[in-house]
Every structure is written in C-alpha cells, then in structure tokens.
Structure 1
C-alpha cells in the first residue's frame, strides 16, 4: 500500500526534464535498456513506468500505486499482456495525475498545478516515443475518474496535447453505464482495443 505522506505542494518536486535525464543513465537497481522509469527512484509521485520499444501502447490510469521496474502490480501485468496481444512491442503506464496513492480516496483534494504541469510534459514526451507518429493511447481509468473534480480537466489537457501529436485513443472491454472506459485489472489478456471518442465521453460526463 502507498498512503501519501503529505500533499504534493509540500514536496520539492523533481521536474520532468532532469528526471528523464537521470532515468536514461545506467542504474544499479534495474535495466535501463528495458525499463523507462521517471523519476528513477520510488517517491510520492511517478511520471512514467514502462518498457522501451519502437511501438508502445500508452495506457492511461488515474494515478500511480506501488509498481516499479521488475515489480509490476497485477494491473500493470494485465496492461503488458493486452499491449503484446494487440501487436505493440512495449507499454507505457501513464496517469492522469502523478501522485502515488494505492487507494484513490487518498489522493489530494485539489490539483497541484506544478505537479500537473510536469506530468503533462511527461505525457508529451511519451507520445513522441511512437516512431510512426500516431501514438496509441489506451483510456483505462474506469470509474475512478469520479474520485476528484479536477481529473476530467486533466484529461482534457491530455487530449489537447495528443491532438498536436496525432494521438489515437482506444478503450478495451465493456464500458460502464456512464461510458467510463474499463480498468485493465480484470480484462482478458486477448482483449482487443477499440476506438474511443474521449472528447465525446468527457462532454457526456460533464452533462450528467
């Protein structure tokens, strides 16, 4: 379990760019040729966790839990299986909000603009990793997006960034009654990605 020790505005955040530079240097803790882990140490927040490749599937959850290189939780194990089944050579686990909390109810009540800004820089970077120029983004946050009022706005920022990178959005599995995309944890490993109108989904969500 990861329970936040404080609100993130009380932390001295490592900005994304220097954190990425550190993550690209050799580490005694894991194989940087296989893993992309930013920051490259366990902390109260995480920008990126995934494997390196030419054609990554970028999975979007709400917020990180305890996973780290060579220590994936069951959700990320499912993400990796679905990515490989759908023809991707790697996966990136990204999150709408970067604060670690195993229980989303423990997330901070208000968005930290500084943490969000760095997280959006990280999102733009992971979109650039697709060598074909049309990054695949898998919406996979389930009903957890309802936990905090600021989360849909964070997703809208991601949509805007994705448009500039020609991102294509997908979901997998049955959506909820409100249209929330299925969480990866209980998906079959042979689940197929389907096109997802993320802007229409958010418009419907805000109208309900």
Structure 2
C-alpha cells in the first residue's frame, strides 16, 4: 500500500522530459526496451507504466498505486489481458492524476499545478507513440468523484486527445448512476472495448467543478 508522504517529505517532482530521459538509460532493474516506466524509480508520483509496442492501448485510471515493471498489480494484469485480447500489442497505464495513493481518498485535496502540467506532457507523449489512431480506454470507475479537480483534468485530456484524433473506449458495464466507465480490476479477460463519448459523459456529470488545475 502507498500512503502519500507529508508534503515536506516528498521527493522532488521531475519534469516529464527529465524523467523520460532517465528512464531510457540502460542501468535499471528492468529492460527499457520492453518497459516504459516514468519515473524509472519508485517515488511519490508516476507518469507512465506500460509495455513497448507499435499499437498500444492507453488505459486511463485515476491515480497510480504500487505497480512497477515486472511487478504488476492485479489491476495492471487485467489491463494487459484486455489489451492483448482486443488486438493491441502493448498497453500503457496513464492516470488522470500522477500522485501515488493506493486509496484515492488519500490523494491531495487540491491539485498540484506543476505535477498536473507534467502529467499532461506525459499524455501528449504517449498519444504520439501510436502508429495508428491512438486508442484510449477510459477506466477510472466512480473514483472520479473522489476529488473535485479530477473532471477538470479529464476535460483537458479530452482536448489533447482531439489534437491527436484519438478514439475513446470503455470496457464492461458503466455505472448505473453517472455512467462512469468500469474499473479494470474485475473485468473478464475477453472483455470487448465499446465506443465512448467522453465529452458527453463529462457534460452529464452532476454539478459544476469550480476548482482550477
């Protein structure tokens, strides 16, 4: 389990560019030719975790937990199975918020502007990796309601996705209340991907979010 450290004890946040460069150095306990892991060491935040390929499925959760290369948790194992079943050669796990917290209720009450900015830089990067139209799997569940700034982060991601012509999907039944995308953990490995309109979904969320990001 990862419980966020107090603010004064947290690791300094590297820019995505700096963290990406470090992750490509051949000095880690994982193969950078196989894994995409940014930052490349366990810390209080994570931009990206996934496998390398020409046709990745980009799965979007809310925030990272403890998974790392060669040590995927149950959620990431499910993500990998669903990606491979649907014809993708790799998966990339991205999150609306980059702060590590096994329990979403432990996330910071307010959005960290710098971490958010660099997380969006990471999102642009992974969209650029696809040799075809980028495929984004919305998989954040009802957890998006945990913090008021999360829908605003998704709104920015939708706009970035439009720049790259990305297509959005969900897997499994959406929640009856709010139509939230299904979380990957309890999905069957042969779950198909269904088209998803993230803008319509965002507009349907109850209440207006006023927090800035």
* Normalised-by-shorter TM-score class: over 0.9
Tell me how far apart the structure 1 counterparts of residues 135 and 48 of structure 2 sit (CA, whole Å).
16
Tell me how far apart the structure 2 counterparts of residues 91 and 98 of structure 1 sit (CA, whole Å).
17
Tell me how far apart the structure 2 counterparts of residues 7 and 166 of structure 1 sit (CA, whole Å).
37
SS in 1 for 2:190: coil
CA contact (8 A) 1:9 1:112 kept: no
SS in 2 for 1:75: helix
Shift of 1:52: 0.2
Deviations, residues 75-104 of structure 1 (Å, cap 9, x unaligned): 000000000000000000000000000000
CA contact (8 A) 2:49 2:69 kept: yes
CA contact (8 A) 1:8 1:112 kept: no
1:120-139 alignment runs, 5 A limit: 120-132=120-132, 134-139=133-138
Q: Are residues 196 and 13 of structure 1, via their aligned partners in 2, closer, same or farther at CA, if it must alter by over 3 Å?
A: same
Q: If the length of structure 1 is used for normalisation, what is the TM-score?
A: 0.97
* Matching residue of 2:139: 140
**Runs of at least 5 residues in structure 1 that lack an aligned partner in the other structure:** none
1:56-205 alignment runs, 5 A limit: 56-132=56-132, 134-177=133-176, 178-205=178-205
Q: If the length of structure 2 is used for normalisation, what is the TM-score?
A: 0.94
Deviations, residues 114-155 of structure 1 (Å, cap 9, x unaligned): 0000000000000001012x1000000000000000000000
CA contact (8 A) 1:7 1:108 kept: no
Tell me how far apart the structure 2 counterparts of residues 126 and 20 of structure 1 sit (CA, whole Å).
11
RMSD after superposition: 1.4
Shift of 1:26: 0.9
What stretches of structure 1 move > 3 A for 4+ residues in a row?
7-11
Pairing 1:15–2:23 present: no
Number of paired residues? 207
CA contact (8 A) 2:34 2:52 kept: yes
* Matching residue of 1:39: 39
CA contact (8 A) 2:28 2:40 kept: no
**Runs of at least 5 residues in structure 2 that lack an aligned partner in the other structure:** 209-213
Shift of 1:206: 3.6
Tell me how far apart the structure 2 counterparts of residues 137 and 28 of structure 1 sit (CA, whole Å).
28
